[in-house]
């Protein structure tokens, strides 16, 4: 839970607000107290939507849907006023982690718990469908594991069974990797759509990963409409049940009654709550951090549209990645080229009929996501606008950036050379580029590779640059000559982050294979494999003295490793979601980590959480301290860069990117901040000097 912010109301209806819980699809969610002192959750529609009759109607439908289902399988509606200004709804506070949070923190559920969960969820869906509703956003983040069983929440896009899947604007709304084929394609959606999602949720609970999640919209849709994954982790009967839920023909999927006949706890037992989750359920009480909710859940959040292409740039291969997204209602004929984000080999395996189906589904999904992002993502208010030098409270006003726009795809990483004269960038266009900082001119392009370039960093002496790639390789480049010096290829999946030790003798790399690897730079050999994370590792950073290495992972943890002993020293837990970035303060006393809109500060010596800053919406994708340690910069999904005054917690919001900001870096003298975004651009923000 986060404190109330300037501008938040003190009361909504009869309820006294005590803290912020998070963001729903259309509004802010608060923890509140009833006049009698009972904890309740109050959802308030955002002012910008309160005047829109469509959003008011949607909110009223959410209230009505939750009331119709009742409190046994969901959170009981206590009171609501859809006609208020702004509209609001109060529900009972249900202590417990979300299924997403529980699995990310404690791992997949064992067979007995999985069966009990499945029976409870099938019973909940039966209640929803029995009221003539389709949930349409059934996913792990919308399932609360309460002490008395699972509860299904968030009826923001639930609709009657005879309603279309699409809004009036043509937007397909939901969570892409948990959608059914008919929901993606814009076909009529009935109870069988929730059954498809039910199978996907069970697969996630059993394996710890979303079975259809991928790096792009095209790959996600291809998995959903293609051959289902094998699910070797499941016992045969549950595997058959999940595969039955995943039938492409909705009429062939089981009903909730058929699911309950196969899952009834009369046969499986009723062991609930699970012993390994009891402490999570007990700790999720008012005054503690509740399970997080975010509107989109994918292995990596999907891009809502292709980045804009500068006028002088030629189109990418086939032209498809540089075309603007289709307008609502536009029909896009099947292409002979792979869809955006798809490997050519995957596309070539499809028949012409499958390509046509997939093309139509992706068109609907892209249109829906582009049209509905304005509903799902919104910026926080009360942004600080300070006055006056090289700290947040002394900056006259947010500066105007210099924009570097030669990349033709997402820019994943930026890094300054030790002397500050050169900036390196890595992009999904497969290139690493070097820029002259003084002039902004492109100095060199290293492009001998067709896959994504995900990370880049200079060695402490500036002679080498290390970059990580989609094919699991780390490459060392000679900065002066531009020649590739070495290819380090022990990782089996994407390399998300690379970092040199302060003396330049060791290189660390983080990968989607769940490992962190240490490399001897001089010998160009692997030195150690650090294993402990249970999911993708997104970021690594050395402490200033080189004795510690920090790593951040989708398993929700930050881990500290002893570099000399090559052993895990500490696990920092407290994040409610995937952790995307880590950075040490210049004196090594603090560690910053970023997750779902929150940057957390940790005391390195004790491992205790020192502070948490809620700022942008969506993931905090990057974080870095200024050279003097007075500022911390962070980049967010909402396209903003935020500068935090470490001592005062005040912030400046830098707005210029039109898409997610994946990387931020301070120049060595602190006078510039570089940011890299999914809009294909790099921004150089002048901060001034004291």
If the chain, 690 residues long, is cut into consecutive pieces of 10 residues, what is the mean pLDDT of each piece? 75 91 68 90 80 77 75 82 89 84 83 91 90 86 87 62 39 69 84 96 92 77 88 91 96 94 68 68 47 30 33 32 32 41 44 48 42 26 31 53 89 95 92 91 80 93 94 93 91 94 96 95 94 93 96 92 93 82 94 83 90 73 92 88 83 86 94 92 80
- Same domain? For 665 and 544 the reply is yes
Look at residues 684, 677, 685 and name the one whose alpha carbon lies nearest to residue 427. 677
- Same domain? For 632 and 676 the reply is yes
- Same domain? For 668 and 649 the reply is yes
Residues near 622 by Cβ (< 8 Å), separated by ≥ 6?
580, 581, 594, 633, 634, 635, 661, 662, 663, 664
- Same domain? For 180 and 54 the reply is no
Does residue 342 sit within a domain?
Answer: no
**Could you tell me the CA-to-CA distances from 550 to 465, 497, 553, 558, 604 in Å, in that order?**
20, 12, 10, 7, 10
Does residue 346 sit within a domain?
Answer: no
Q: b vs e for 654-677, b when ≥16 Cβ sit within 10 Å of the residue's Cβ?
A: bebbebbbbbbbbbeebbbbbbbb
- Beta bridge pairs of residue 286: 288
The pLDDT of residue 465 is 96
3-state secondary structure 128-175: HHHCCEECCCCCHHHEEEECCEEEECCCCCCEECCCCCECCCCCECCC
Residue at which a domain ends, from 64, 91, 118:
91
Are the C-beta atoms of residues 43 and 58 closer than 8 Å to each other? Answer: no
Task: Give the Cα separation of 301 and 304 in Å (integer).
Answer: 9
Does residue 330 sit within a domain?
Answer: no
Residues near 312 by Cβ (< 8 Å), separated by ≥ 6?
none
Residues near 619 by Cβ (< 8 Å), separated by ≥ 6?
301, 577, 578, 580, 594, 595, 596, 597, 636, 637, 660
Q: Which two tokens stand for residue 271?
A: 């062991």
Residue at which a domain ends, from 57, 91, 125:
91
- Same domain? For 37 and 118 the reply is no
- Same domain? For 181 and 60 the reply is no
Does residue 108 sit within a domain?
Answer: yes
Any idea what the CATH number is for the domain that residue 15 is in?
3.30.200.20
Report DSSP letters for 286-341, one per residue: BTBPPPP--S---SSPPPSSPPPPPTTSPP-GGGGGGSPPPPTT---PPPSSPPTT
Look at residues 80, 134, 117, 293 and name the one whose alpha carbon lies nearest to residue 204. 117
Tell me the catalytic residues: 137
Does residue 406 sit within a domain?
Answer: no
H/E stretch holding 686 reads: strand 682-686
The pLDDT of residue 362 is 47
Any idea what the CATH number is for the domain that residue 540 is in?
2.130.10.10
The pLDDT of residue 13 is 93
The pLDDT of residue 305 is 32
The pLDDT of residue 258 is 94
Look at residues 391, 274, 354, 414 and name the one whose alpha carbon lies nearest to residue 643. 391
Measure the CA dihedral 330/331/335/338, to 10°: 60
Does residue 113 sit within a domain?
Answer: yes
Does residue 362 sit within a domain?
Answer: no
Q: Which two tokens stand for residue 607?
A: 């491992």
Domain residue limits at 22: 11-91
- Same domain? For 135 and 249 the reply is yes
- Same domain? For 586 and 668 the reply is yes
The pLDDT of residue 520 is 95
Q: What is the DSSP letter of 493?
A: S
Any idea what the CATH number is for the domain that residue 115 is in?
1.10.510.10
- Same domain? For 148 and 82 the reply is no
Look at residues 158, 24, 164 and name the one whose alpha carbon lies nearest to residue 86. 24
- Same domain? For 172 and 36 the reply is no
The pLDDT of residue 665 is 96
- Same domain? For 209 and 68 the reply is no
Q: How many domains does the chain have?
A: 3
Cβ neighbours of 164 (radius 10 Å) = 11
Q: Is 43 annotated as a binding residue?
A: yes
Residue at which a domain ends, from 32, 61, 91:
91
- Same domain? For 33 and 140 the reply is no
Omega of the bond leading into 557 within 30 degrees of 0 (cis): no
Residues near 320 by Cβ (< 8 Å), separated by ≥ 6?
335, 337, 338, 339, 340
Are the C-beta atoms of residues 456 and 415 closer than 8 Å to each other? Answer: yes
């Amino acid at each position: 839970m986060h404190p109330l912010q300037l501008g938040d109301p003190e009361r909504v209806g009869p309820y006294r607000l005590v803290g912020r819980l998070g963001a729903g699809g259309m509004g802010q969610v608060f923890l509140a107290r009833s006049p009698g002192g009972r904890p309740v959750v109050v959802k308030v529609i955002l002012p910008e939507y309160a005047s829109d009759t469509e959003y008011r109607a949607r909110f009223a439908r959410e209230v009505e849907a939750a009331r119709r289902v009742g409190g046994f399988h969901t959170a009981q509606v206590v009171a609501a006023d859809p006609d208020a200004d702004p509209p609001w709804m109060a529900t009972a506070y249900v202590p417990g982690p979300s299924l997403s949070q529980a699995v990310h923190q404690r791992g997949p559920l064992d067979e007995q718990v999985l069966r009990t969960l499945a029976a409870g969820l099938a019973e909940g869906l039966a209640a929803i469908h029995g009221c003539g509703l389709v949930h349409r956003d059934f996913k792990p983040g919308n399932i609360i594991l309460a002490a008395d069983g699972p509860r299904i929440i968030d009826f923001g896009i639930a609709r009657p069974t005879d309603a279309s899947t699409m809004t009036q604007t043509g937007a397909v709304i939901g969570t892409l990797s948990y959608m059914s084929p008919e929901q993606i394609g814009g076909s009529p959606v009935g109870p069988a759509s929730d059954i498809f999602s039910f199978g996907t949720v069970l697969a996630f609970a059993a394996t710890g990963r979303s079975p259809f999640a991928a790096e792009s919209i095209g790959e996600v849709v291809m998995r959903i409409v293609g051959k289902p994954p094998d699910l070797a982790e499941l016992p045969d009967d549950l595997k058959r049940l999940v595969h039955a839920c995943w039938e492409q023909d909705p009429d062939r999927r089981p009903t909730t009654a058929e699911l309950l006949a196969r899952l009834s706890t009369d046969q499986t037992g009723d062991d609930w709550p699970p012993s390994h989750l009891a402490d999570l359920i007990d700790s999720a009480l008012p005054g503690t951090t509740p399970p997080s909710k975010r509107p989109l859940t994918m292995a990596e959040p999907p891009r809502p549209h292709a980045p804009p292409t500068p006028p002088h740039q030629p189109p990418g291969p086939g032209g498809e990645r540089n075309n603007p997204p289709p307008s609502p209602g536009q029909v896009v004929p099947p292409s002979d080229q792979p869809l955006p984000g798809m490997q050519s080999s995957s596309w070539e395996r499809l028949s012409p009929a499958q390509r046509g189906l997939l093309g139509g589904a992706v068109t609907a999904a892209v249109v829906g996501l582009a049209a509905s992002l304005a509903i799902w993502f919104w910026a926080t208010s009360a942004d600080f606008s300070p006055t006056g030098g090289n700290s947040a409270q002394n900056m006259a006003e947010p500066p105007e950036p210099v924009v570097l726009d030669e990349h033709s795809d997402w820019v994943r990483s930026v890094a300054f050379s030790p002397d500050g004269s050169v900036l390196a960038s890595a992009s999904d266009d497969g290139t690493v580029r070097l820029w002259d900082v003084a002039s902004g001119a492109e100095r060199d392009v290293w492009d001998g590779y067709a896959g994504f370039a995900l990370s880049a960093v200079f060695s402490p002496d500036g002679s080498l640059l290390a970059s990580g790639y989609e094919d699991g390789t780390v490459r060392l480049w000679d900065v002066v000559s531009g020649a590739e010096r070495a290819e380090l290829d022990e990782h089996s999946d994407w390399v998300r982050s690379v970092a040199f030790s302060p003396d330049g003798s060791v290189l660390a790399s983080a990968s989607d294979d769940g490992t962190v690897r240490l490399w001897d730079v001089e010998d160009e050999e692997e030195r150690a494999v650090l294993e402990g994370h249970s999911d993708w590792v997104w970021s690594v950073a050395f402490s200033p003295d080189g004795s510690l290495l920090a790593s951040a992972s989708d398993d929700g943890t930050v881990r500290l490793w002893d570099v000399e002993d090559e052993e895990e020293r500490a696990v920092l837990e407290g994040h409610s979601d995937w952790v995307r970035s880590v950075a040490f303060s210049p004196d090594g006393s603090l560690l910053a980590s970023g997750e779902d809109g929150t940057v957390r500060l940790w005391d390195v010596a004790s491992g205790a959480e020192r502070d948490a800053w809620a700022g942008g919406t969506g993931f905090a994708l990057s974080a870095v301290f200024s050279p003097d340690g007075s500022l911390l910069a962070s980049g967010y999904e909402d396209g903003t860069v935020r500068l935090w005054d470490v001592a005062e917690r005040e912030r400046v919001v830098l707005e210029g990117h039109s898409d997610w900001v994946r990387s931020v870096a301070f120049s060595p003298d602190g006078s510039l901040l570089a940011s890299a975004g999914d809009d294909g651009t790099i921004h150089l923000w002048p901060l001034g000097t004291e």
